[in-house]
Amino acid sequence: MSAGKRRRRGLRIAIIGAGPGGLCAAIQLQRAGFEDYVLLEKAAGVGGTWFYNRYPGCACDIPSHLYSFSFEIKRDWSRPYAPQPEILAYMEHCAEKYGLLPHCRFGNGVQGARWNEDGARWTLALEGGERLEADVVVSALGMFNEFAWPEIEGLDSFQGTRFHTARWDWDHDLSGERIGVIGSAASAVQAVPEIVKQAEQVHLFQRSANWVMPKADEPFTSEQLEAFRGDPQAALSVRQEIYQQVDGGMTFSDPDALAKLEAAGLAAIEVVKDPELRRQLRPQHPFGCKRPLLSNNYYAAFNRPNLELVTEPIARVTPNGIVTRDGTERQLDTLICATGFSATKYLSAIDVRGRGGQPIDEAWSDGARAYLGICTAGFPNLFMIYGPNTNNGSILEMIEGQVDYAVQQIARIADEGLAWIDVRPEPMERYNEEIQQAISRVAVWQADCNGYYRTPSGRIVTQWPYSMSEFRKRTAHPDLEAYQILTLAGATTPTQGETP
């Protein structure tokens, strides 16, 4: 059969995760004609981080009109920064509208994946003991897959109620309780102002102060919502305006803009009446060194008599509370860990082994790396969504670029009858060296601020140092020369500089 008449290869595709990345991948694969796919999700429903993170006050920190897929724009967000229930409902809407639910296998978390060189297939080990084979794997685990517990002596000895903000215990009533919250980043900033409304006393244990910015978040009026629903161009115009604002600020390269943001952040702290508290809440690192946070009620909560900011380091947890380094013990009924995620692990959060049985955490010994954040050399037919160095701006916009690129490569496997496709080490390393050099030029990311961006080696593996527009430009074409392929007939393409 001639190449022009080649029959498209049928592919069995496994998508790990039914969060935004997995849903987007499934939708675009369907649009490209791929129907034999399965969405493997450990949770009981779609949504990913928006399914699990249900703590009080949970909301998006990207304006709502930029937090929907470009092919399924939601025009009737209730307010400028959407709360978690509304975002989850949107994800559920996408799954239902595009017919993804019959492909979903909930309660089927993936524990590991191994590449079989002879069969040119992946074998996935599921949590229930089942094994599943696939020609192609799309990993949509993302960054916020494995949450982090603080490494504090005695944490497991606590005899009261203890949970992580990523697994909020809504069956437990906080009313009238003495509560300790460890951590002062995103989830704490959103949850603490809600917790203090119920609790008798809240002790917030802060390691370092963060930049918490005010946000324009008045709910949309009925007239505004009617205009958004009735005129698609109205919501699209708002979306485009937000896109330009976010796109232009992602590189943290404008000193005047950064100075204005810092001034706005410091002005927000002035709502706190106690001057010593204001001093303790003032960040000691430049704006942008860590993820900037948004809240209109965090600082005001410190004017309540039942919220204490504790800056003395924690020495240990006891069965009844927390002891700080100065010897003070605070008695607690409930301990809440707002300590975030192991954000730098990505796909190495599960046991993945590529060509020659190499573990991915070995390939990433000094930090996760991939070509365009999507493909890692030595792991054929494996595509990551929300992979290394793709975090910045609106993640849904970044996800769409990654998905479009991955679908192009998967279509190539099918259309050209390939056994596998694998990014070559050289372009992957050149790409990552360029990204790290660009990161080194973002001055605010070089300050010492104990953020989640860096691995223990010091390598920043989370952040994208350019704009969303630049990422879309780079992922618009399949970069055929960056890949080695194996045809089903067994012929391997040479890498650049080699002769066949």
What is the distance between the alpha carbons of residues 231 and 222, in angstroms, rounded to a whole number?
14
Q: Give the three-class secondary structure for 164.
A: strand
Residues 6 or more apart in contact with residue 462 via CB below 8 angstroms: 143, 343, 344, 388, 389, 391, 452, 453
Listed residue (315, 58, 335, 61) closest to 204, CA to CA: 335
**CATH class of the region 9-146+342-487:** alpha beta
CB 295 within 8 A of CB 190: yes
User: Which carries the bigger pLDDT value, residue 492 or residue 385?
Assistant: 385
What percent of the chain shows pLDDT beyond 70?
97
Confidence of residue 493 (pLDDT cuts 50, 70, 90): low
pLDDT computed for residue 339 by the predictor: 92
Token duo for residue 425: 């080490």
Whether residue 238 is predicted with pLDDT greater than 70 in this model: the reply is yes
3 state DSSP class of 122:
strand
Distances (CA, A) of 47 to 92, 150, 184, 410: 7, 26, 25, 24
- Distance in angstroms between the alpha carbons of the first and the last residue of the chain: 24
CB 211 within 8 A of CB 292: yes
Query: Could you tell me the sign of the dihedral formed by the alpha carbons of 265, 271, 274, 275, in that order?
Result: positive
Burial 77-106 (b: 16+ CB within 10 A, else e): beebbbbbebbbebbbebbeebebeebbbe
Euclidean distance between CA atoms 121 and 137, whole angstroms = 9
pLDDT higher than 90, residue 10: yes
Task: Specify the domain boundaries for CATH 3.50.50.60 within the chain.
Answer: 9-146+342-487, 155-211+253-337
Rounded mean pLDDT, 293-303: 97
Closest CA to 377 of 426, 416, 410: 426
The CATH homologous superfamily to which domain 155-211+253-337 belongs is FAD/NAD(P)-binding domain (3.50.50.60)
Question: What DSSP element (H or E) covers 190?
Answer: helix 186-195
Three-class DSSP category at 386: coil
Q: What average pLDDT does the chain have? A: 94
For range 349-363, the mean pLDDT: 95
CB 57 within 8 A of CB 181: no
Q: How confident is the model at residue 491 (pLDDT cuts 50, 70, 90)?
A: low
Q: For residue 427, what are its two tokens? A: 């372009």
| Model confidence band, residue 478 (pLDDT cutoffs 50, 70, 90) | confident
Q: Are 363 and 350 contacting, i.e. CB atoms less than 8 angstroms apart?
A: no
pLDDT at position 492 is: 67
Cα distance between residue 17 and residue 388, in whole Å: 16
Summarised one tens digit per residue, pLDDT across range 414-460 is 999 999 999 999 999 999 999 999 999 999 999 988 778 988 888 99
The 10s digit of each residue's pLDDT in 42-54 is: 999 999 999 999 9
Residues 51-102: tens digit of each pLDDT: 999 999 999 999 999 999 999 999 999 999 999 999 999 999 999 999 999 9
Once rounded to an integer, what is the mean pLDDT over residues 478-487? 94
Which H or E run contains 420?
strand 418-423
Q: Are 56 and 30 in contact (CB under 8 A)?
A: no
Whole-model pTM: value is 0.94
Q: Look at residue 496 in the predicted model and tell me its pLDDT.
A: 38
Q: Percentage of the chain with pLDDT > 90?
A: 89
